[in-house]
Every structure is written in structure tokens, then in C-alpha cells.
Amino acid sequence: MAQPLNYLKETASQTAGPYVHIGLAPGDAGFNIYANELGRDIIGPNAKGTRIKVTGTVRDGTGAPVKDVLIEVWQANAAGIYPGKGDVEDGFRGWGRVISDFETGEFTFETIKPGAVKNQNNQIMAPHLNLWLVARGINVGLNTRMYFGDEAMANAADPVLNLIEQTQRRDTLIARAGRTNYHFDICLQGDEETVFFDV
């Protein structure tokens, strides 16, 4: 026997369940309790950069929309700075919560397009939003990224996208670009399964 290491174990995850909105977005569950509901505004009033709107649907393995998903967004500002890592605009939180429509499953949120950020090896990562998905039936929250379809050059050089061996699967992380709107569907399972990350 060797000495015990005495590390603690991370608390195991459990599904957020169908009523995640009560805890994290009670207004959407159908009642008002908090004066200040968190995650409603990703960027605040002073954010510089291009304002964008993102829409999409999360689909299950049968192609059906997931109507009870909650997505958290975490992003840098337009200069590529994460809050806590340097000065960002007053009120810029970089974090938000989005839920899908209970009837249609479509989600929508507004933010600004983030700037590029360097990874630990000083390589430039293309602009991206970090997403974390929870819902009934998802046992451990799923991490993924949304890249921008109008950043073809930056995406081609992105060190994370380039890790994806099946090159056609890289497209699962790239939102279709309109003028200021982006469309990003997430597939939990199936032929178009989105690339999820173990980070």
C-alpha cells in the first residue's frame, strides 16, 4: 500500500431535469421572484463591437427539437479579453443564459461578436462563443463552441477546429452567417452530432 493521496473527488453531476428554469430562469418557469434575474444581458450597455443575434435549435437523436434546454454562453469582448483577465467595458459580463422556446425549441440571444483569444501555446483561436448545455436527459452538462461562418480564414487556422480529425465535423461548430444574424443548430446525437469537448 502506498500513502493515500487525499484529494477530494469532484461532486458527480446529475441532470438539471425538466424544471431547471425554476432555479436558473424563474421568470421563464412562470413566476417572478428575483428583482435581478442573472444572465439576461451578456454584454451590458457599453460594449464595443458588432452587435449580433444568434438563433438555433438543439435537436435530439431523432431530430426532434429539445424544448427544455438551458444554454450558458461565455465569451470574450470584442478585443478578445475575458472579464477577469483584463479591462472590459463597464457592465460587460461576457456570460448569459438562454433557454429554448417551450413550444418550438428555438433559442435566440443577442450579444457582440467576440475578438480572437490566444490559447496556452500562444496560438490565435478564431472568435468563438463557449456554450454549456444542460437539460433533462443530459447527465453531465455539455461543453461546445460556436464559431462564425464569416471567419473562414481564422477558422481554418483555429487550433481547436483543427484537432477534429473528421474534417466534415468541424462544420458542426460553425454558425451560418447572415448580415448580423447567425444560425447555429446543435445536434446531441445522430449523423450531424455536434462536437462536444472534454476540457
Partner 1 sequence: MTSDELYQRDREWHPPAFTPDYKTSVTRSPRLAMLSLQASESELTGPTFGQCDIDPIDSDLINNYAKTGDPIGERIIVHGRVLDENAQPVPNTLVEIWQANAGGRYRHKMDTYLAAIDPNFGGCGRTLTDENGYYAFRTVKPGAYPWRNWVNNWRPAHIHISVFGTAFAQRLITQMYFEGDPLIAKCPIVNTIPDSRAIDQLVAALDLNATVPFDSIAYKFDIILRGHRSTFFENRPEGN
Instruction: Provide the mask over 48-77, with x wherever binding to partner 1 is found by CB under 8 A and - wherever it is not.
Output: ------------xxx-x-x-x---x-x-x-
Cell numbers 463552441: residue: 145
Binding at 134: pick from partner 1, Fe ion, none (beta carbon under 5-8 Å per type):
partner 1
In the bound complex, what is the minimum distance in angstroms from residue 33's beta carbon to partner 1? Answer: 5
Instruction: Provide the mask over 72-111, with x wherever binding to partner 1 is found by CB under 8 A and - wherever it is not.
Output: x-x-x-----xxxx-------xxx------x---------
Q: Which stretch binds partner 1 (CB under 8 A): 48-56, 133-141, 149-157, 175-183?
A: 133-141
Here the cell at position 85 is 483577465
Pairing mode, if any, of strands 95-99 and 70-74? Answer: antiparallel
- Rounded to 5 degrees, φ, ψ at 152 are -55, -40
Q: What is the spatial distance between Cα 82 and Cα 77, in angstroms, rounded to a whole number?
A: 6
- Asked if 53 contacts 110 with a C-beta cutoff of 8 angstroms, the reply is yes
Cell numbers 436527459: residue: 137
User: Which residue's CB is nearer to partner 1, number 125 or number 179?
Assistant: 125
Q: Which stretch binds partner 1 (CB under 8 A): 104-112, 147-155, 157-165, 177-185?
A: 157-165
Instruction: Provide the mask over 5-44, with x wherever binding to partner 1 is found by CB under 8 A and - wherever it is not.
Output: -xxxxxxxxxxxxxxxxxxx-x--xxx-xxxx-x------
Q: Which stretch binds partner 1 (CB under 8 A): 47-55, 128-136, 146-154, 177-185?
A: 128-136
Cell numbers 428555438: residue: 106
- Asked if 143 contacts 160 with a C-beta cutoff of 8 angstroms, the reply is no
Positions in 167-196 near partner 1 (CB under 8 A): 188-189, 193-196
In the bound complex, what is the minimum distance in angstroms from residue 64's beta carbon to partner 1? Answer: 8
Q: What is the spatial distance between Cα 152 and Cα 43, in angstroms, rounded to a whole number?
A: 25
Here the cell at position 115 is 475578438
Q: What is the spatial distance between Cα 170 and Cα 162, in angstroms, rounded to a whole number?
A: 8
In the bound complex, what is the minimum distance in angstroms from residue 156's beta carbon to partner 1? Answer: 17
In the bound complex, what is the minimum distance in angstroms from residue 146's beta carbon to partner 1? Answer: 12
The neighbouring-strand residues paired with 118 are 124
